[in-house]
């Protein structure tokens, strides 16, 4: 893979994560979700869903990078988790709906 191809691939992945996060923020606003813990769960679920769709592993390091957070620790490659097989065919909005329902 050339450098140009790699950068395009990286760009597409970042854009996909960004769109999933933006969809989540829109969902939170549209549904007037004020609970910070539920908001956090939804944001994390959007990243887990995006990682599954991209066929990648979501790590703590990736999650920190996606949200522009800094860590004092060296790079962390611990896997966050993966999307349960029962939810793999859901759209992102359907996953949000199920997360909200389970949180109640």
In a structure prediction context, what are the per-residue pLDDT tens digits for the chain, which is 104 residues long? 788 888 888 888 889 999 999 999 999 999 999 999 999 999 989 999 999 999 988 888 777 777 776 666 665 566 677 888 888 999 999 999 999 999 98
Q: Are 64 and 74 in contact (CB under 8 A)?
A: no
The pLDDT, as a whole number, for residue 55 is 92
Going by C-alpha positions, the residue among 98, 10, 104, 101 that lies closest to residue 49 is 98
The pLDDT, as a whole number, for residue 69 is 66
The neighbour count for residue 52, using CB atoms within 10 Å, is: 17
Q: Are 55 and 82 in contact (CB under 8 A)?
A: no
Rounded distance between C-alpha atoms, residue 28 and residue 100, angstroms: 10
User: What are the phi and psi torsion angles at 79 (to 5°)?
Assistant: -70, 135
């Amino acid at each position: 893979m050339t450098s140009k191809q790699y950068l395009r691939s990286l760009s597409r992945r970042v854009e996909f994560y960004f769109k999933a996060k933006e969809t989540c923020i829109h969902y939170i606003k549209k549904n007037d979700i004020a609970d910070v813990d539920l908001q956090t769960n939804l944001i994390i679920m959007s990243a887990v869903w995006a990682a599954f769709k991209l066929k990648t592993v979501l790590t703590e390091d990736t999650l920190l990078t996606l949200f522009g957070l800094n860590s004092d620790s060296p790079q962390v490659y611990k896997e966050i988790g993966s999307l349960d097989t029962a939810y793999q065919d859901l759209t992102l909005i359907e996953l949000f709906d199920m997360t909200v329902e389970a949180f109640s």
